[in-house]
Amino acid sequence: MDYRIIDGLDNLQLSDIVRLLRTTYWAEDRPAEVIETALRHSHCFGILLPGDQTLAAFARVVSDGATMYYLADVVVDEAWRGRGLGTALVDHIVSCPAYAPLRGILFTRDAHGLYRKFGFDAPGDRVMVKTPKG
C-alpha cells in the first residue's frame, strides 16, 4: 500500500484530525478546542494517502524528552483498517530516535495485540490513573 508518514502538526489539517478522533470511543465527544490544544502540546504523526492526501491514520506523543513518552489518540480511518497502517504508524513512532530509548506509556481497551508487537505490556498492579471529575 502506498502512503506517506507525516511528522509534525504543521503538515496536517486540524479538521482531518478532528474527523478521525470523532470516530473513536475515547474522543467522540471531545470538543474541537480541546483537541486543538492537545495537538499543540504534542508531537503529531499522520499517514497520508497519495492522490487526494486523505488522512488515513493519526497518533500523537507527549513526552518529557528524557525518561518517558505517552502515546495517545492512535486511530486509523475505518475505511483503511486492516492494511497495516496502524502497525506502520506505531512502528515509526517507537523507532524515532527521540522516543526509542524512553519508556512508553499508553491506554487502550481493545488494541493490546498491536502494542505488544512493539514491547508494550500491562505491568500488573503498578499502574494508577487519576481521571478528572465531571
Own/partner contacts of 18-25, CB < 8 Å, gap of 24 or more, are: 19/55, 20/55, 20/57, 20/58, 20/75, 20/77, 21/58, 21/73, 21/75, 23/75, 23/77, 23/78, 24/73, 24/75, 25/109
More confident residue, 29 or 132: 29
Share of the chain above pLDDT 70, in %: 99
Band (124; pLDDT cuts 50, 70, 90): confident
Band (7; pLDDT cuts 50, 70, 90): very high
For residue 112, give the CATH number of its domain. Answer: 3.40.630.30
Let me know if residue 103 belongs to a domain. yes
Q: State which residues form the domain around 23.
A: 4-119
Let me know if residue 39 belongs to a domain. yes
Let me know if residue 21 belongs to a domain. yes
Single pTM value for the model: 0.92
